[in-house]
Structure 1
Amino acid sequence: MESNLITRIFPTYEALSQAAADLVAEALLLKPTLVFCLPSGSTPLGMFQELAERHQRGEVDFFQSTFIGLDEWVGMGPEDEGSCRAYLDRDFLRPVGFRDDQIVYFNAQVPDLPAECERINRALALLDGLDLIVLGVGMNGHLALNEPGTSFDAAAHLSTLHETTIQTGQKYFKEPTTLTQGVTLGLRTILEARQAVLLASGAAKAPVVQRLLAGTVSEAFPASVLHLHPHAQLLLDDEAAALVEK
């Protein structure tokens, strides 16, 4: 199978973060009304910092753009210190001046979560989908909270978390926290984005990257859906690329 996935390897995490920020800034310059999605977590922190610094210097302006939330732990809201929204508010959305009316985000605390996912799907449809999505990758190959076995045709949906995701998720909370489900944009949503970018950094991600670049496309490994995307890039630092054939 021929893949359109472009792989770019950078010598340091800082260089990777600058390149990721460049992609967001370039997309915003081309379309000030950009509809885009960025992940929470540790990998994008350098990108967020770079974008915040550019915003302070007046080099990027998010005033007309729309931010779409990627995922959230069920039961968590912006006031919960380990929630995805809390991280994004602190690390990106507030530092670059987003207003609430520019943000479309899951409410993972409502009783009817499937209806909430449909609300997100409708909002995306009205916005004509995502122009850009930036993602991280989980140790089991998950994208957002699309766990292994998720259909490539899934839109926003309620996801049952795998044990590896539950364990990894604990690092975002000061106290042990029960995590069982998440709400997430789906793999079809990712495929339909006009541009997709996957970031991976650090030696721990090297086996995941190696499996991705082996090229087998399977719902058992959600990240492999990016091989089917017409405009996708994989950005790696040297450590994450350690097992990649040079």
Structure 2
Amino acid sequence: MAIARVALDATRGRREPRLSALLRTRVALGHSITGQRGRCGQSLHRAEQELDRASPQPPPWLAFCGPAELTGQAALCHYNLGDFTPALQDDDPPASARTVVATYAYRLRKCLGHDTLVREPGRYRLRIQDSELDLALAAKLASSAETAVAEGDAEGGRDRYAAALQSFTGEPLAGLPGPYAERHRERLSRWRRALLERRLELDLATGHHDEAVEALTDLTAADPLSDRLRELLALARHRSRTER
């Protein structure tokens, strides 16, 4: 928080509004950690004001700082302030829960559009197509990959598995606390690992041995007890040497 404040003071009057918004969220996060609810809310509000006046074409290094970034930082703030945990554990949520939900719904509707997140009596409904979900896209690509392999197109199957893996960006559900998120995080991580192993098998089947060696060397270093990875690495190295 101190660093963010120094940066705000040092660039006063000459900084990009989007940068101001980013720094304000870091100040808010600091206030939330120390339990200063009022100051946290003020900093979040000022961050929103700064973002509202930011250029629609930000510098590349600030492109990530948009409504979604502010919503995520605000969620962390409210979590630190204890607004979420009681609501998930008790039948009688705190008085602030309704306001918190409405605040996030408003921000999400700005990001997603009013036709995507619609308000209904007593709830909000997210209206999206399966084709808009990265998980559904990855599953469709994986199914298509196996169909291609069954039809004798191993190269096409490999390419589709590679495309399915591109749907994963970092750790699944990163930053979401609680046992429910943890269970799904582990499940998705196992599935991603299975997709990766299948693509590596097809790397070997289609002659991409050098690429497989590079990927498997990193994977076995991270998971040295996996017999399957070590088996694939040994096979990839053998075939790579044979080709030379």
- Give TM-score scaled by structure 1 length: 0.24
Q: Which structure features the higher share of strand residues?
A: 1
Does 1 or 2 have the higher relative contact order (CA < 8 Å, sep 6+)?
1
Q: Which structure features the higher share of helix residues?
A: 2
